[in-house]
Amino acid sequence: MNKGTIKSEYGQLSDRDFRRLSAFIYETFGIYLPEKKHYLLQNRLLPRLQKLGFTSYSAYADYVLQQGEHGEETFEMINVVSTNKTEFFREKAHFDILQQELLPCFYEQKINIWSAGCSSGEEVYSLTMLLGDEKSAGHISDFIVYGNDISGRILEKAVKAVYPYQEIDSIPEKYRRKYLMRSKNRTNATIRIVPELRGKTKFVRENLVGKRDTMPRDFQFVFCRNTLIYFDKETQYKVVSRLVEHLIPGGFLILGHAESLVNQVPEGIKTIYPTIYQKDM
């Protein structure tokens, strides 16, 4: 196997240690790392070895496994291993369907939405912008958007709600002036979500495949997009079944365009559109 070039003083991630760590990551977080991810894991763990002063991957693996699933380094490891790619209004068709077809089913109610695997919060704040306008129009009485992720570091960014200015491009013009604040620093321009929308969010560090489950069970909508792709089929089914439990009867589950429940749709939900499902009444 060609594992690429790694500084000699750290050696390489051996096949044995890759199997040990990938099995632990799968059992703890549900993230499946096939053998082809060997080099990726090796590269992403290198900064942790350097920071902690380990001189071998084997010693680092021992350290993580001794700490176990609740260890501080376990979560530092998953921070660098997990992929946190997102953007505002990603897969915009889902937001259009939500606003035009799904949300009217719950007009005059307080809307509760869960963004499962929310990463740095762009999806959460996209939803708050849309719901903010719906509340202003008198369609809904109020709203709150929950977001969860396994990475404490990435959730800190979500809570701060500060993003590079270039991310503004994917935000519809009608929301920019109303819901964004621009920094005065011209050399490092950023945007921040306005306080009234930040106050409509709640971020929770929680693992979708873990035993801890503190989320409410009264959501009209659960968004879980581009998260299931990191799980194998068995784990996908378990996660989806768990998410459905948090929906009210008639609530909707929205998955990413690259995700499908073909031949593994849990009982109690039906397909409305590709990747959009409704819980039985």
**61 in Cβ contact with 23 (< 8 Å):** no
16, 17, 19, 44: which one is catalytic?
Answer: 44
Catalytic residue among 17, 48, 149, 225: 149
Radius of gyration of the chain (CA): 20
Q: Is 149 a catalytic residue?
A: yes
- And the tokens for 105? 């089913």
Give the DSSP per-residue string, 79-126.
Answer: HHHS-----TTSSTHHHHHIIIIIGGGGTTSEEEEEEET-TTSHHHHH
C-alpha distances out from residue 223 to 112, 114, 150, Å: 11, 6, 16
Judge contact between 276 and 97, C-beta under 8 A: yes
Q: Count Cβ atoms below 10 Å from residue 275 Cβ, excluding itself.
A: 20
Residue 25 in tokens = 């990551």
Q: Which residues does the annotation mark as catalytic?
A: 44, 149
